[in-house]
């Protein structure tokens, strides 16, 4: 009789364990479905973000190409006032020593002076190199000053 009771207890324990195992398996399947749904949703969101950023980069690249076609980012020495007024929309660099009239108009009294001009308006004048930290300033220092005066876009400078 003792064996019969023991077998009966074992059977009930095994049945209870199987039922619990089935419950756990169902719970695992629910979590797997939920996990798959989360990853699928994230994949779509990541793809959307990736495509949006790619389009932004393409637009910025096209904008930069258009600016290059207009002469932006190119250094050209302007030797006369007449030449300055003819091409001032394309280039904003002048040689102060050879253009005394413009120096007077732009109030350039010290060489070097970097006039920061945007949309035809003088935003700021960098007189000498003091604002840039002295004669041996870095390109990054110049970029930071131009960013400060909003003459270049911060994101553009990082790209």
What's the pLDDT band for 104 if we cut at 50, 70, 90?
confident
Q: Are residues 87 and 151 in the same domain?
A: yes
Task: Kindly state the average pLDDT of the residues 135-157.
Answer: 82
Cβ count near 102 (within 10 Å): 19
Q: Are residues 24 and 1 in the same domain?
A: yes
Please count the structural domains in the chain: 2
Residue 39: is its pLDDT beyond 90?
no
Cβ count near 91 (within 10 Å): 17
What's the pLDDT band for 92 if we cut at 50, 70, 90?
low
What's the pLDDT band for 14 if we cut at 50, 70, 90?
confident
Q: Are residues 30 and 92 in the same domain?
A: no
Q: Are residues 54 and 92 in the same domain?
A: no
What's the pLDDT band for 55 if we cut at 50, 70, 90?
very high
Q: Are residues 55 and 98 in the same domain?
A: no
What's the pLDDT band for 86 if we cut at 50, 70, 90?
low
Question: Taking the complete model, does pTM exceed 0.75, yes or no?
Answer: no
Q: Which of 42, 69, 96 lies at the terminal end of a domain, its last residue?
A: 69
pLDDT at 26: 92
Return mean pLDDT, the chain.
80
pLDDT at 64: 86
Q: Are residues 119 and 143 in the same domain?
A: yes
Q: Are residues 89 and 65 in the same domain?
A: no
Domain span at 129: 81-158
Q: Beta partners for 118?
A: 121
Q: What percent of the chain shows pLDDT beyond 70?
A: 81
């Amino acid at each position: 009789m003792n064996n019969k009771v023991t077998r009966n207890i074992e059977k009930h324990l095994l049945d209870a364990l199987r039922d619990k195992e089935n419950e756990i398996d169902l719970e695992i399947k629910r979590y797997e479905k939920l996990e798959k749904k989360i990853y699928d949703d994230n994949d779509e969101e990541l793809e959307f973000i990736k495509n949006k950023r790619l389009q932004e980069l393409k637009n910025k690249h096209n904008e930069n190409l258009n600016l290059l076609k207009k002469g932006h980012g190119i250094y050209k020495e302007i030797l006369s006032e007449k030449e300055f007024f003819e091409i001032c929309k394309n280039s904003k660099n002048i040689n102060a020593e050879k253009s005394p009239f413009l120096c007077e108009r732009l109030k350039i009294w010290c060489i070097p002076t970097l006039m920061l001009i945007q949309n035809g308006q003088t935003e700021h004048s960098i007189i000498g190199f003091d604002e840039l930290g002295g004669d041996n300033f870095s390109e990054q220092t110049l970029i930071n000053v131009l960013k400060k005066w909003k003459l270049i876009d911060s994101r553009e400078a990082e790209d």
